[in-house]
Chain A
């Protein structure tokens, strides 16, 4: 039972890490906390649902959904955030809230207000028994995908020109532009990656929840924001650490708190966040350049 709880904890932590990383990549480049990040998850969910309903085989539907997440993020940047380029952090933040609200209403009135059921293939929700321990396949897949995605991002940032440009941009965007790297391409790539990460998180989220609904993006983006803040806003390793820490804390508290204290779980988690920030105001692993103006 303890082994299972630990796997549950790491699995949720992985999903939070993916989400926080998506937020952090965009923040590190343009200083925007994209609160419409959750709606990228919703869009991915509907893309998966639509593909499955049209009879697309499951693996292909997953690929379509992931691409949709990335493209939706790029479209979001092009339509809503590019015209706001150079605006203050507050204006960008408010724009992202507006995009989020608009998309929620569009999903609700355009698709359905009611959650739509998406059932993952049986093997994804099955369990294997090793000795005394029954391990669920879902959390294991979730951990594997999170780790692969993190590894992929690390390779991209270290080994490619665009990756290097993005790392440089997160430290000093002005200098990167002086070097002749087109700003639009760096920013679009950042959004594309953040969309892909949102899409991966969405698939794991949906596999766990069996449905997609217009408002499903709200909780994940909030968790991702908390994780990114604990880790240090704009710091990619920080986002990963923050995500895992938040997920693990949530699950373990849920597992050990007596029922009468369980409703206070979120309050306890958020108190711990305040404590972390009191001790390390810039987060656990602060970004090299803390705040863009």
Chain B
């Protein structure tokens, strides 16, 4: 009898504690439909780590906007578009107020078809195609600098270095690989540069020898090569290009800022790319890197971690401004963010289509290390339309 009474007593206490917690802190559900396996995993995994870190820190301080304890519902989309839509639907059914989607425009657009009618703000981890926020009528947001912005920064920088001719290596297989070089070409040509040729590749193709031989055979040698190719295609291309004795510098954007590319060592020397920030000693980003290392047990691999972390900060600020856990109100608050101080710099959504206006760091690999060479905020008038 006594035993049963004790159990009953414990049960009541547990029930009361549970009741009290529920009554005190309001909870906001965030759906994380991202690719933790498959081709996008190298980008989504670090982003998620950064995002989780932000949410844990924010929850320790009382939650989003200091008020709403954030609870993450994380589901793997396996880098599959249909799976992304399915997962997004499941998360919406579970009652999420905010949705996070993979580092990819196509699957983000697929998920947004489900979230947009419910006014659920949907943020891609590091999808950069500017078309992303235009394809969906409302409530879809990018966080990483958009491709047209990055391409403008690269073109401005290349011209400032005295580059006059460029060759484009394009793959029609993804928005990033297809459009980044073309955005670059628009700015480069508008400002007096010349495109001397275009080559095409299929993502995952084993052999770049034909493209490389074509580049070697160009009548007019280009000053630089601009490409949206990323790993594992980029190392393959670069390896075969250098093996063929072509030393033309290769330029790209954010997807080249990864440990895989850096580990190519002297092969990758001279490659220029963009990043959302640069960890100058004493900067906010440097202290983030330190905190992240403590949190995750390893240093950040790229700027995807800090970008994931900044999404947490953006949501915190939006919920604070909205002073509500209502999806539409949070979305409106994100849309109004102006010169919001993140970790890598200021982030502005006001007046944009949903891709943030922000500064870009230009980096160059030298002796196997990424060196910061410039930080640029391209003139909005120069940035090509999506």
Contact = CB atoms under 8 A, between A and B. Distances in A.
Contacts of B347: none
Nearest to B239: A210
Contacts of B235: 115, 117, 209-211
Nearest to A109: B37
B221 interface: no
B207 A259 contact: no
A263 interface: yes
B245 A134 contact: yes
B207 A5 contact: no
A114 B260 contact: yes
B37 A211 contact: no
B236 A210 contact: yes
A231 interface: no
A213 B242 CA distance: 21
Contacts of B214: 255
B325 to A, nearest CB: 33
B202 A126 contact: no
Contact of A108 (B41, B172, B211): B41
Interface string B277-311: 00000000000000000000000010000000000
A78 interface: no
B264 A113 contact: no
Contacts of A210: 235-236, 238-239, 264, 267
Contacts of A213: 231-232
Nearest to B172: A263
Contacts of B162: none
A218 interface: yes
A8 B213 CA distance: 9
Interface stretch (B3-11, B147-155, B193-201): B193-201
Contacts of A127: 243-245
Given A114-B231, A266-B202, A11 B239 contact: no
B206 A219 contact: yes
A246 B331 CA distance: 52
A136 interface: yes
A114 B232 CA distance: 9
A251 B213 CA distance: 11
A125 B199 contact: no
Contacts of B240: 138, 208
A4 B171 CA distance: 23
B42 A115 contact: yes
B265 to A, nearest CB: 7
A237 to B, nearest CB: 23
B239 A219 contact: no
Interface string B220-241: 0000000000011001101110
Interface string A55-67: 0000000000000
A15 interface: yes
B266 to A, nearest CB: 9
A104 B80 CA distance: 15
A117 B209 CA distance: 20
Contacts of B206: 12, 15, 205, 208-209, 219-220, 223
B231 A262 contact: no
Contacts of A255: 210, 213-214
Nearest to B44: A113
A136 B39 contact: no
A116 interface: yes
B247 to A, nearest CB: 12
Closest 9 CB pairs of A and B: A113-B41, A254-B210, A8-B209, A262-B200, A117-B263, A209-B236, A114-B42, A210-B235, A125-B243
